[in-house]
Amino acid sequence: MIQKHKNHCRHCCIKINDLTVHLGQNCVLDKINLHVHCGEVIAIVGPNGAGKTTLLRAILGEIPFKGTMESLLGGSEFRRPKIGYVPQKVQFDSDSPVSVADLIIAATSKKPVWLGINLKLLNKAEEILALFSAGHLLKKRISELSGGELQRVLLAMAMTDEPELLLLDEPSTGVDINGLAMFYHTIRNLRENHDVAVIVVTHDLAGISSYVDRLVLLNRAIITEGIPEEVLSDQAMLRTFGPALWNVSSLPVILPEADSV
């Protein structure tokens, strides 16, 4: 069961040191250094082809990289962090009978869903979903969910194993403004109530900036990073994204689709 924590120790830290990725002769990521503490949310932004998706894939262990990644727990224990992941896109057959309850129970129970779902498992699934403002979705089919609803269900699934690091890949994709506001509010609650470090890859500069502790501008290497107010006014940021940033406080800026790198 997902545990809540009112106070973050801030001594627990995920450390990514000199992470470098080569695809053939091409250096896609060059000496990325990121330290993110429990209860901290970092947003990674950058132009198409900057290597944002590659960074997530490297962290997940899907592609080889040079460098190190480890979690420092309580000031002494070093090991690879336990990771939760919410992908950018998940494809479901529109005729699929799979329900939200089926997904959550499959993620939390060793018993195969096709053997039947008892009331105890159903209640547990509803409790987990309720933590992410999704309890009312329990009996809905996955194919019936809106983009924002599906993101919250996937977030609940990613958190069931109580990860130390949560990766979110383009949560704004396919989500309307209201759904996105709800999702970002849920992320803020994660920061306040759970000892988990969060890294969000996004193009939604305006929407995400009020909900994160740090922004990181990535373009194969880290160009600049800091609190949102400082990074949004940084000259490197202005050169990368241009005039759109001048209205960042009043308009939702949704940049082009995620890069393919």
Domains of the chain listed by start with CATH number: 22-90+162-247 (3.40.50.300)
How much is the pLDDT for 16? 94
pLDDT of residue 171: 83
Task: Report which secondary-structure segment, H or E, holds 60.
Answer: helix 52-60
Q: What local confidence, expressed as pLDDT, does residue 232 receive?
A: 84
- Which pLDDT score is estimated for 62? 95
Helix (H) or strand (E) holding 160: none
| pLDDT at 257 (0 to 100) | 39
Going by C-beta distance under 8 Å and a sequence separation of 6 or more, which residues neighbour residue 181? Answer: 207
Cα 234 to Cα 226: distance, rounded to the nearest angstrom: 10
Tell me which residue of 126, 187, 111 sits closest to 151, measured CA to CA: 187
In the prediction, which pLDDT does 78 show? 66
Q: Is the pTM of this model over 0.85?
A: no
Residue 259 is predicted with a pLDDT of: 44
Contact 259, 50 (CB under 8 A): yes
Mean pLDDT by runs of 10 across the 261 residues of the chain is 52 88 94 92 91 95 93 67 86 80 82 65 88 90 89 90 90 79 82 84 84 92 92 82 51 38 46
- Coil, strand or helix at 229: helix
pLDDT value for 141 = 92
Vertex 28: Cα angle to 85 and 254 (nearest 5): 55
